[in-house]
Structure 1
Amino acid sequence: MFTGIVQATCEVVSIYKAAGLKTFEVAMTPELTKGLVTGASVANNGVCLTVTKILNDKVFFDVMEETLQLTNLGKTAVGDRVNIERSLTFGTEIGGHILSGHIHTQAKVKSVSNTAEHYNIELEIDPKWMHYIFYKGFIGINGCSLTVGQVSDSGFMLHLIPETLKLTNLSDYQVGDDINIEIDSQTQVIVDTVERILAKKQLVNS
Structure 2
Amino acid sequence: MGAAGSIDAPAQLAAVTRTVVFSNEEGQSRYSVILSQDHPLAARDLWPALSDAGRLAQWFAVVGGDLRAGGTYAIANNATGTIERCQAPLGFSVSWEYEGELSRVGVRLDAREDATTLRLEHVCDIDGEVYPEYGPGAIGIGWDLALLGLAQHLFQGASVPPETTGWIKDPAALEFMEGSSRAWADASIAAGSEEHHARMAQERCTTAYVGIG
- Give the TM-score of the pair, scaled to structure 2: 0.34
Structure number with bigger Rg: 1
Q: Of Structure 1 and Structure 2, which has the larger fraction of its residues in helix?
A: 2
Q: Of Structure 1 and Structure 2, which has the larger fraction of its residues in strand?
A: 1
- Give the TM-score of the pair, scaled to structure 1: 0.35
